[in-house]
């Protein structure tokens, strides 16, 4: 089923304990689109780029069945740019530079032909912009997944609360869940947040895995213990892309299937962090993905006879 | 099969965000013994107390099938005392007071009749004292599990490395694993630590679950998302007691059975933190334990058809 993903397409300059990467391709929509492309060939990205964004990379995305019909190209303007440096623990980072450029007045437009899409992924953006996308849909999607961050909780909490009322699944990290709910216990945080609108909540805990909540159920997906996390940039978006890509491909939004989708999201994220930027996501095949997903399953496999 | 557990029996004064508890019973051996008692009735505690330690509590332990034949009673001396205050996140705490008392010159003596025990649990103590217990065993136990902490890595690393050569399973937390190995990645840390002696390593991650490693296998047990962690004191010892108690009861030290043991250890720890001190561990029944263990299993249960 058709998937529409809204988010940035950008340049990132990164510094990790393993090295530096200068002006490589990044952005939420890029990672979401690439991760989803391993599950479905019906994804449309909605984004905005300047004329510095490489045509070659766009062709690469298109060759993977990703439609860029919703990507606005602004002549004479520059793409969004972010630069950051990761600390040794890889869980924390400093932003060195942020150049909004084309993002300063981004008004995403969903192509006419995609306004009845069944799956909508709202990558991390101003909550008001996320809302404007929902309003463009002529049919209520079967599933709306939203990613956001603490920054919007600090400066646009009211807008965020409005958009939360309109979505099905919220995907945030543990600190954000605590900030949004005012609860330290993630179980209490989940209950509070689901009262704000979303029927399901995903709490990402980085190297500690991810939790999926519904009103009466909870599922925990572990993170794979890795030798090295090379570059965590894009891991959250890749997770989201794998998650919603799998759901769109299987057309099943039951809690049971969301559990599988979390495993595939985690699988895709575990590949993403192995190399700089999108590099690893460009060189995967179905077999590697299934084999890695099996590792996730095996990691918690245990039988007890009661 | 017979289980010998060595560790402190003590008084704790605790302050958590939920309240205070003054001079309640604590100590590693106490928690280990209580947790193990739900699985096996052949546990001998080896410890030392002063004449302030309540006879009533000793009777309680004995009534649960725990032998105190290895507990030295020092007349005119006081039991070990620890006082601490937990921060709001419950993962960090400040030690307010430590009075070693009887622990200052603790020379544990394993009762003659227990020196051929098959299961030996060495609770957190000076590594040299842990070594002296191993040396008292007239037959090499089938399984020796050791708990330790960063403090001994700081001041007695050589002694710790000596005792690590003699044990089978080391149980430490993630920060301790990183300190002991000098590796940030827990996978690398595990490989380094298992080269030091133990064939298996348990890395406890508190609210993030626990990892079990062997040379070629890894298993992850989640932590149950709880509404509230009331008092984390003794959770690690309770985990160890449930782990080795289950193994001693089932007499199976395969990796598959250690996975089950980790689930039961986690189960016991999840009860422990629900109330102050040993309170919750004194009021459990088998049914509650099996039902909670099932919750742990269900939390990661997912089926994917490849």
Are the C-beta atoms of residues A209 and B186 closer than 8 Å to each other?
A: no
Are the C-beta atoms of residues B196 and B161 closer than 8 Å to each other?
A: yes
pLDDT of residue B306: 59
Cα(B134)–Cα(A118) distance, rounded to whole angstroms? Answer: 64
Residue ranges in chain B modelled with pLDDT below 70:
306
Closest CA relative to residue B221, chosen from B199, B237, B238, B206: B206
Q: Does domain B3-87+94-299 have CATH number 3.40.1190.20?
A: yes
A225 part of contact set with chain B, CB < 8 Å: yes
Cα(B213)–Cα(B143) distance, rounded to whole angstroms? Answer: 15
A222 neighbourhood in chain B, CB within 8 Å: 209, 220, 222, 300
C-alpha angle with apex A80: A78 to A83, nearest 5 degrees? Answer: 120
Residue A303 has pLDDT above 90, yes or no: no
* Cβ burial B68-105 (10 Å sphere, 16+ → b, else e): bebbebbeeebbbbbbbebeeebeebeeeeeeebbbee
pLDDT of residue A97: 93
The proportion of chain A whose per-residue pLDDT surpasses 70, expressed as a percent, equals 100
- What three-state secondary structure class fits B11? strand
Which of B220, B221, B293, B295 has the most A C-beta neighbours within 10 Å, making it the best mutation to test the interface with A? B220
CA–centroid distance for B29 within its chain: 8
Which of A222, A229, A302 has the most B C-beta neighbours within 10 Å, making it the best mutation to test the interface with B? A302
pLDDT of residue B134: 98
For residue B297, give the nearest of A88, A209, A302 by CB distance. Answer: A302
Q: Do B300 and A187 touch (CB under 8 A)?
A: no
Q: Where is average pLDDT lowest: A212-221, A278-287, B11-20, B253-262?
A: B11-20
- By DSSP bridging, strand B143-147 and strand B200-204 are unpaired
Rg value, chain B, Cα: 18
Element (H, E) at B228: none
- What three-state secondary structure class fits B62? helix
Q: Do B227 and A188 touch (CB under 8 A)?
A: yes
Residues paired with residue B95 on neighbouring β-strands, in sequence order = B84
- Count of C-beta atoms within a 10 Å radius of residue A279: 16
Q: Do B219 and A184 touch (CB under 8 A)?
A: no
How far away is chain A from the Cα of B67, in angstroms, using its nearest Cα? 28
Are the C-beta atoms of residues B269 and B293 closer than 8 Å to each other?
A: no
Q: What is the mean pLDDT of residues A199-206?
A: 96
Residues 74-113, chain B: which have Cβ within 8 Å of A? 88-90
How far away is chain A from the Cα of B148, in angstroms, using its nearest Cα? 23
Tokens of B217: 């296998």
Cα(A244)–Cα(A144) distance, rounded to whole angstroms? Answer: 9
Are the C-beta atoms of residues B79 and B53 closer than 8 Å to each other?
A: yes
Element (H, E) at B139: none
Element (H, E) at B97: strand B93-99
For residue B263, give the nearest of A187, A225, A302 by CB distance. Answer: A302
For the four alpha carbons of A299, A300, A306 and B2, in that order, the dihedral sign comes to positive
Give a three-class secondary structure readout of chain A.
CCEEEECCCEEEEEEECCEEEEEEEECHHHHHHHHHCCCCCCEEEEEEEECCCCHHHHHHHHHCCEEEEEEEEECCCCCEEEEEEECCCCCCEEEEEEECHHHHHCCCCCCHHHCCCCEEEECCCCHHHHHHHHHHCCCCCCEEEEECCHHHHHHCHHHHHHHHCCCCEEEEEHHHHHHHHCCCCHHHHHHHHHCCCCCEEEEECHHHCEEEECCCCEEEECCCCCCCCCCCCCHHHHHHHHHHHHHHHHCCCCHHHHHHHHHHHHHHHHHHCCCCCCCHHHCCCHHHHHHHHHHHHHHCCCCCCC
Which of A202, A220, A289 has the most B C-beta neighbours within 10 Å, making it the best mutation to test the interface with B? A220
Q: What's the length of chain A? A: 306
For residue A227, give the nearest of B187, B221, B260 by CB distance. Answer: B187
- For helices A255-272 and A286-299, what crossing angle results, to 10°? 110
Q: Do A226 and B259 touch (CB under 8 A)?
A: no
Cα(B134)–Cα(B115) distance, rounded to whole angstroms? Answer: 9
Q: What's the length of chain B? A: 306
Residues 274-303, chain B: which have Cβ within 8 Å of A? 290, 293-294, 297, 299-303
Closest CA relative to residue B201, chosen from B222, B6, B192: B192
- Ramachandran angles phi, psi of B26, nearest 5°: -145, -150
How far away is chain B from the Cα of A225, in angstroms, using its nearest Cα? 6
CATH assignment, A3-299: 3.40.1190.20
Element (H, E) at B208: none
A306 neighbourhood in chain B, CB within 8 Å: 290, 293-294
- Closest residue, chain B, to A219 (C-alpha): B299
Cα(A188)–Cα(A211) distance, rounded to whole angstroms? Answer: 13
C-alpha angle with apex A258: A190 to B271, nearest 5 degrees? Answer: 45
Cα(B120)–Cα(B133) distance, rounded to whole angstroms? Answer: 9
Residues A149-183: tens digit of each pLDDT: 999 999 999 999 999 999 999 999 999 999 999 99
Closest CA relative to residue A78, chosen from A59, A97, A63: A97
Cα(B101)–Cα(B81) distance, rounded to whole angstroms? Answer: 8
B225 part of contact set with chain A, CB < 8 Å: yes
* Cβ burial B182-218 (10 Å sphere, 16+ → b, else e): ebbbbbbbbbbbbeebbebbbbbbbbbbbbbbbeeeb
- What three-state secondary structure class fits B236? helix
A222 part of contact set with chain B, CB < 8 Å: yes
A261 neighbourhood in chain B, CB within 8 Å: none
Element (H, E) at B159: helix B157-164
B190 neighbourhood in chain A, CB within 8 Å: 225
Q: What is the mean pLDDT of residues A99-122?
A: 97
Tokens of B77: 């001396």
Q: Do A222 and B226 touch (CB under 8 A)?
A: no
Q: What is the mean pLDDT of residues A42-65?
A: 98
Longest dimension (CA), chain A: 68
pLDDT of residue A125: 96
**How far apart, in Å, do the first and last CA atoms of chain A sit?**
41
A226 neighbourhood in chain B, CB within 8 Å: 185, 187
Tokens of B93: 């705490």
Cα(B27)–Cα(B234) distance, rounded to whole angstroms? Answer: 7
B57 part of contact set with chain A, CB < 8 Å: no
Q: Do B209 and A205 touch (CB under 8 A)?
A: no
ipTM computed for the complex: 0.86
Cα(B50)–Cα(A43) distance, rounded to whole angstroms? Answer: 71
B88 neighbourhood in chain A, CB within 8 Å: 184
How far away is chain A from the Cα of B292, in angstroms, using its nearest Cα? 11
């Amino acid at each position: 089923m058709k998937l529409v993903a809204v988010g940035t397409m950008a340049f990132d300059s990164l510094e990790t304990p393993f090295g530096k990467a200068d002006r490589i391709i990044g952005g939420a929509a890029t990672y979401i689109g690439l991760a989803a492309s391993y599950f479905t060939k019906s994804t449309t990205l909605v984004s905005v780029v300047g004329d510095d964004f490489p045509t070659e990379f766009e062709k690469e995305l298109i060759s993977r069945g990703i439609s860029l019909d919703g990507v606005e190209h602004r002549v004479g303007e520059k793409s969004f740019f972010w630069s950051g440096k990761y600390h040794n623990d890889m869980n924390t980072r400093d932003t060195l530079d942020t150049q909004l450029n084309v993002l300063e007045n981004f008004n995403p437009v969903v192509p006419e032909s995609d306004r009845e899409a069944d799956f909508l992924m709202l990558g991390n953006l101003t909550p008001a912009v996320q809302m404007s996308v929902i309003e463009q849909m002529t049919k209520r999607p079967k599933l709306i997944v939203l990613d956001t961050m603490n920054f919007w909780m600090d400066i646009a909490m009211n807008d965020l609360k409005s958009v939360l009322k309109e979505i099905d699944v919220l995907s945030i990290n543990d600190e954000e869940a605590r900030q949004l709910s005012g609860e330290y216990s993630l179980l209490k945080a989940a209950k509070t947040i689901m009262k704000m609108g979303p029927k399901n909540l995903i709490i990402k805990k980085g190297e500690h895995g991810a939790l999926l909540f519904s009103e009466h159920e909870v599922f925990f997906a572990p993170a794979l213990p890795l030798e090295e996390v090379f570059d965590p940039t894009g891991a959250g978006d890749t997770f989201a892309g794998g998650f919603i890509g799998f759901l769109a491909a299987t057309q099943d939004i039951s809690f049971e299937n969301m559990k599988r989708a979390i495993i595939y999201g985690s699988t895709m994220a575990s590949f993403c962090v192995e190399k700089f930027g999108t590099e690893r996501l460009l060189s995967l095949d179905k077999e590697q993905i299934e084999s890695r997903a099996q590792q996730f399953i095996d990691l918690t496999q245990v039988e007890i006879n009661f």
